[in-house]
Structure 1
Amino acid sequence: MNKYILDREDTVLLIIDIQDRLVKPMKYGEKVIEKTKILISAAAELNMPIIYTEQYPKGLGNTVSELEEVLKNGKRFEKVEFSAYTEEVKKYIQSTGRKKVIISGMETHVCVFQTARDLLSDGYDVFIVEDGVCSRAKENYVNGLSLMANMGAVITNTETVIFDLLKKAGTKEFKVLSKLIK
Structure 2
Amino acid sequence: MPEPIINPLLMTPLNTVLLVIDMQEKLVPLVDSSEKVLWNVRRLIDGAGILGVPALGTEQYRKGLGATVAPLAEKLGEMPDKLHFSACDAVASQLQQLERPKVLICGIEAHVCVQQTALDLVALGYEVFLAVDAVGARFRKDKRIALRRMESSGVTLTTVEAALFEWCRVAGTPEFKQISQLVREEGP
Partner secondary structure for residue 9 of structure 1: coil
Q: Does 1:20 align with 2:22?
A: no
Which residue matches 1:44?
A: 49
Query: How far apart are the structure 2 equivalents of 1:48 and 1:163?
Result: 13
Partner secondary structure for residue 84 of structure 2: coil
For residue 83 of structure 1, the aligned residue among 86, 94, 104 is 86
Query: How far apart are the structure 1 equivalents of 2:181 and 2:74?
Result: 19
Which residue matches 1:58?
A: 63
Q: Does 1:102 align with 2:104?
A: yes
* Structure 1 residue identity aligned to 2:15: D
Which residue matches 2:163?
A: 161
Q: CA deviation at 1:29?
A: 1.3
- Structure 1, 42-51 or 126-135: larger mean CA deviation: 42-51
Scaled by the length of structure 1, what TM-score is found? 0.94
Q: Does 1:177 align with 2:182?
A: no
Partner secondary structure for residue 63 of structure 1: coil
Query: How far apart are the structure 1 equivalents of 2:166 and 2:14?
Result: 12
Scaled by the length of structure 2, what TM-score is found? 0.91
CA deviations on 1:69-96 (whole Å, 9 max, x unpaired) are: 3224xx511100000111x411110110
Which residue matches 2:3?
A: none
Do the aligned partners of 2:165 and 2:179 also contact (CA within 8 Å) in 1?
no
Query: How far apart are the structure 1 equivalents of 2:39 and 2:114?
Result: 18
* Structure 2 residue identity aligned to 1:81: H
Aligned length: 179
* Structure 1 residue identity aligned to 2:101: K
CA deviations on 1:118-177 (whole Å, 9 max, x unpaired) are: 000011000100000011111100000000000000010000000111111101110111
Q: Please give the root-mean-square deviation of Cα atoms over the aligned residues, in Å.
A: 1.4
Identity across the alignment (%): 41
Q: CA deviation at 1:114?
A: 0.2
For residue 139 of structure 1, the aligned residue among 122, 138, 141 is 141
Query: How far apart are the structure 1 equivalents of 2:36 and 2:17?
Result: 21
* Structure 2 residue identity aligned to 1:34: W
Query: How far apart are the structure 1 equivalents of 2:105 and 2:134?
Result: 8
Do the aligned partners of 1:3 and 1:125 also contact (CA within 8 Å) in 2?
no
For residue 132 of structure 2, the aligned residue among 126, 130, 133 is 130
Q: CA deviation at 1:28?
A: 1.4
Which residue matches 2:114?
A: 112
Segments of 4+ moved more than 3 angstroms: none
Structure with the greater alpha carbon radius of gyration:
2
Partner secondary structure for residue 8 of structure 1: coil
Query: How far apart are the structure 1 equivalents of 2:31 and 2:154?
Result: 26
